[in-house]
Amino acid sequence: MAKWGEGDPRWIVEERPDATNVNNWHWTEKNACAWSVDKLKELLVNLPMESDIAKCKVTEIEKCEGEAVVNNRKGKLIFFYEWDLKIKWKGSLKDEDEKEIEGSAHIPNLSEENDVSDLDVTISVNESNPTADILKDFMHRHGKEVIAQQLGNYVIALKEVHPTKIRTWISSSVELNATSASANYATEVQMQTNNRPSNNATSSNLYTTTLNLGHNFQCTAEEFYNAMTVLELVQAFTRGPVKLEAEVGGKFELFGGNIHGDFVELVPNKKIVQRWRSKRWPAEHYSIVTFTIEQKDDHTEVRVLQIGVPQSEADSTRENWEYYYWDSVKRTFGFGSFIV
């Protein structure tokens, strides 16, 4: 097997004048995921909810899955966000301060398609007793309105505060593209073994896109998770030396150093989040890769969301996921065949 990025026809990249993003005519995309996660934590964690009989507060965001991006075309900003949130809360009756009840709230549909007033906020408690029933009713009647209001403030901030940075990026990228177009050049680059960067862009002016990939594997969720996180198994399907520290903050290096990054989140047998980059990409530019692993009755479904892929690298990156990850994993471990 050829090394990732070395001598493989999938790594032929063309740069032509007709693909130049002059005046931002084509879609460009800016990742707002990290900002969104921080903003949601700021708005929700320790959020108080009180009445004459009860007092509650949000203690943590247990789950925050999804994405938020700002798209631009011809200077017009278009916002896309879709979040599935689960938050934890605790509370007590005002005449029973020492008896705290814990529970959760699930908001599966925070997106640009739904008005804040249409959000589904499902309240649950962790125990069953009269106090828990009263607090659940309080959260259902009052608490979820406070939560929804804060989620509305997130949307306002995304659309009114965050874009000030985006507009600066748009202005500079228009100048960049105009200069690029005036050069009027056409080159075809065949990637060689030196793995030189594909362009001179920096993370601040780089056009990126999102890849959404999916595959079914004939294995358990645990087996697939191990194939991505156990050193010996990763070495097996990548066919070479690997550096791998499968822990939050731990680093990984695959395919002769052509792919490297670090682990952001690990939920055994369910989810892996990585900062992930190709050696060919502009210096210090990382994408965010999220593996979502779901075991079905007779197979395991894996979804991969990769946010922040340079547009010029999107097709080759997609093809290399297929060839170097999925096909190789199936061949190496037999995950592509039914085992009876």
Using the CB atoms, write b or e for 97-136: b if 16+ within 10 Å.
eeeebebbbbbbebeeeeeeeebebebebeeeeebbebbb
Task: Supply the Cα-derived Rg of the chain in whole angstroms.
Answer: 23
Q: Confirm if 286 and 264 have CB atoms less than 8 A apart.
A: no
Q: What average pLDDT does range 127-144 have in this prediction?
A: 93
**Number of Cα atoms under 13 Å in the Cβ half of residue 39:** 19
pLDDT tier at 221, thresholds 50, 70, 90: very high
Provide the 3-class DSSP secondary structure of residue 338: coil
List pLDDT tens digits, range 239-252. Answer: 889 999 999 999 99
What residues contact 143, with CB distance under 8 A and at least 6 apart?
Answer: 49, 56, 89, 105, 123
Per-residue pLDDT, averaged over 52-73, amounts to 88
| pLDDT value at 153 more than 70 | yes
Q: How confident is the model at residue 270 (pLDDT cuts 50, 70, 90)?
A: very high
**pLDDT-above-90 percentage for the chain:** 53
Two tokens, residue 340: 């009876």
Distance CA 260, CA 257 (A): 6
Does pTM surpass 0.75? no
* Predicted local confidence at residue 336, as pLDDT: 76
Cα angle vertex 43, ends 39, 49, to 5°?
165
Answer whether residue 44 shows pLDDT above 90. yes
Say whether pLDDT at 142 is over 50: yes
Instruction: Calculate the alpha carbon distances from 36 to 7, 21, 81, 156 in Å.
Output: 39, 27, 9, 12
List C-alpha distances in Å: 258 to 26, 218, 224, 238, 239: 29, 28, 22, 12, 14
Mean pLDDT for the chain overall = 80
- Contact of 303 with 281, CB cutoff 8 Å: no
Confidence of residue 156 (pLDDT cuts 50, 70, 90): confident
For the segment 311-339, the average pLDDT, to the nearest whole number, is 85
What's the mean pLDDT in 179-188?
32
Domains and CATH numbers, the chain: 28-165 (3.15.10.20), 204-333 (3.30.530.20)
Largest CA distance in the chain: 76
Reported as a pLDDT band with limits 50, 70 and 90, residue 197 is very low
Residue 57 pLDDT greater than 80, yes or no:
yes
